Amino acid sequence: MASTPELSWVLLRAFGPEGAAAPAEVDLGAAVALAEKLGIAARIGARARETPELARASQVAAVSQLQARELARGVAAAAREAGIACCFLKGVALDAQGVLASGSRVIGDVDVLVAESAAAILADELGRRGFRAGAGEEYPHQLRGLVHPVLGLVEIHRHLPGMATPGANRFATLEDLDEAGALVPCPELGDGAKVPNDGALIAHLLAHGLAQHGFQPMAYPALRFIGDLIDLGLAGAGGDELLRAALHWIEKSVPVEEAQAAVALCRRLVAGDLPLDGDQAALLLRHFVAGRLDARYAEALKLVQLAHALTPASGLARHWATAKGLLVLSRAQVDSVYGKPRNRWGYLGWRLLRPFDLLRRGTRALYAAVRR
C-alpha cells in the first residue's frame, strides 16, 4: 500500500506532535473524507479544527460523550437499586476517568459488564425505566442491546471475549476481574460504579481491536482503538509496564508479537513517524488502513477469520464451536443476515440453505484472497 499526502496528513493530524508540518500539496477535502472512513475525524477535529467538517465531527463526538456519561450514570443507578455490581468498559471507562479529550472520540454505546446471573435482572430493571429492545441480536457474550428513548444504546455484557485468567477455559467475567483486583471505583458514574484498571482496560482494547475485530475491519475502525491506547499512555515511558500488566489476560487470543507491534505503532505515530514499510508496526498499520479502504481486501479477510475464531476452547472443541456458530443460526441471526422471513418455515429454509450459502460466500472470499 503506497502512502499518499492525504494519508500522511490524516495520521500526523490525528496522532503526531502538535504543530507537525503538513505534507505538501494535500487535497484537504480528500483528506477529511479519508479521516472519516478511518474513524478518526473527531480526533483530528478536537486537536485542530482546520475545516468545518472536522469541527462538526468533534462536536458530534463531544455530544456523544456527554450522552454516554449520562446514560452510564442511569445504568449505574439501576444496577445499584437492583443490588447488582457493574463495571463500565471501553469508551465510557476512558471518558469517565478523564482519559479522553472532549470531542476526540465518538462513544457509540454504553458497554457494561455484570455477573452472568445478573444480566437479565439488570435488563428487566432498565426495561422498567423505559428502555426498549434494540435492533441488534443477542450474542454469547452480551444480551441484545437496550435503547434509551433519548440517550442511546446500552449493551449488557456477560463476559469479555478474548480475555481470560491464566489457565482458565472460559472468558473473563466480572467475578474474575474482581478477584484479580482489576476493578477500580469510578465515582464519576455514581456510587458502586467501577471500571477496569489500566492493565485490564488495555487488555480489553487489544482483545476487542485485534482478536475480536482484527479480521472484520468494517465492523470497527481499528485506528480508533490505537488512539485509545495512546490516550492511556501506551506510547509513553510506562508503556512497556502497562503492556505487561495486560498480556496475561490475552495470552490465548492476542499473540505477544501483535501486541508489541501495536505498542510500537503507537510510539511511532506519536513521534510523527509514519511506518508504511518494513516492520510489524508498519504491517499492522497497512492492515488497518487497507481494511477500511479496500473492499476486496476486507472480503479476503473473511477466510482468515474462520481460522481465528474467538473461543476459549481448544482443539476439537474449538473447531466444533466455530462450525456450530457458522451453521446453526438463531432466529435473530437469520433476521439479521437474511431478513425476517414471512413465517416459521422461512427460518427452516434458511437453516437448510445455510451450508450452501457459506460455500458461496467462501468461494467469493477465496477469489478475493487470491486476487489480493
pTM to 2 decimal places: 0.83
Could you give all domains of the chain from N- to C-terminal order, each with its CATH number? 5-293 (3.30.460.40), 306-371 (no CATH)
| Residue 145 vs residue 334, higher pLDDT | 145
Q: What pLDDT score does 358 carry?
A: 54
- For 122-131, what is each residue's pLDDT tens digit? 999 999 999 9
| Residue 337 vs residue 42, higher pLDDT | 42
- For 81-92, what is each residue's pLDDT tens digit? 999 999 999 999
The CA-based angle 178-181-182, given to 5 degrees, is 80
- For 206-237, what is each residue's pLDDT tens digit? 999 999 888 888 888 999 999 999 999 999 99
Model confidence at 363: pLDDT above 70: no
H helix or E strand, kind and range, residue 6: helix 5-15
- For 312-337, what is each residue's pLDDT tens digit? 654 444 444 444 455 555 665 556 55
Grid coordinates representing 355? 451450508
pLDDT band at residue 168 using 50, 70 and 90 as cut-offs = confident
Grid coordinates representing 87? 463495571
Asked whether 55 and 61 are in contact (CB, 8 A), the reply is no
Q: Under DSSP, is residue 223 helix (H, G, I), strand (E, B) or coil?
A: helix
Q: What pLDDT score does 279 carry?
A: 87
Q: What pLDDT score does 92 carry?
A: 97
193 forms beta bridges with 86
Q: What pLDDT score does 178 carry?
A: 97
Model confidence at 294: pLDDT above 80: yes
Calculate what percentage of the chain has a pLDDT beyond 90. Answer: 67
Q: Under DSSP, is residue 316 helix (H, G, I), strand (E, B) or coil?
A: helix
Model confidence at 60: pLDDT above 60: yes
Grid coordinates representing 154? 446500552
| Residue 276 vs residue 71, higher pLDDT | 71
Q: What pLDDT score does 215 carry?
A: 84
Model confidence at 349: pLDDT above 90: no
pLDDT band at residue 303 using 50, 70 and 90 as cut-offs = low
Residue 220 phi, psi (nearest 5)? -155, 130
pLDDT band at residue 139 using 50, 70 and 90 as cut-offs = confident
DSSP structure class, residue 101: P
Least confident of 150-159, 242-251, 286-295, 310-319: 310-319
Distance between CA 160 and CA 141 in Å, rounded? 7
Q: What pLDDT score does 360 carry?
A: 63
Average pLDDT, integer, range 43-52: 92
Grid coordinates representing 156? 449488557
Q: What pLDDT score does 301 carry?
A: 77
Q: What pLDDT score does 169 carry?
A: 86
Distance between CA 263 and CA 205 in Å, rounded? 12
| Residue 365 vs residue 265, higher pLDDT | 265
Q: What pLDDT score does 369 carry?
A: 47
Distance between CA 58 and CA 46 in Å, rounded? 5
pLDDT band at residue 304 using 50, 70 and 90 as cut-offs = low
Is the dihedral angle over the CA atoms 292, 218, 257, 323 positive or is it negative? negative
Model confidence at 8: pLDDT above 90: yes
pLDDT mean across residues, the chain: 87
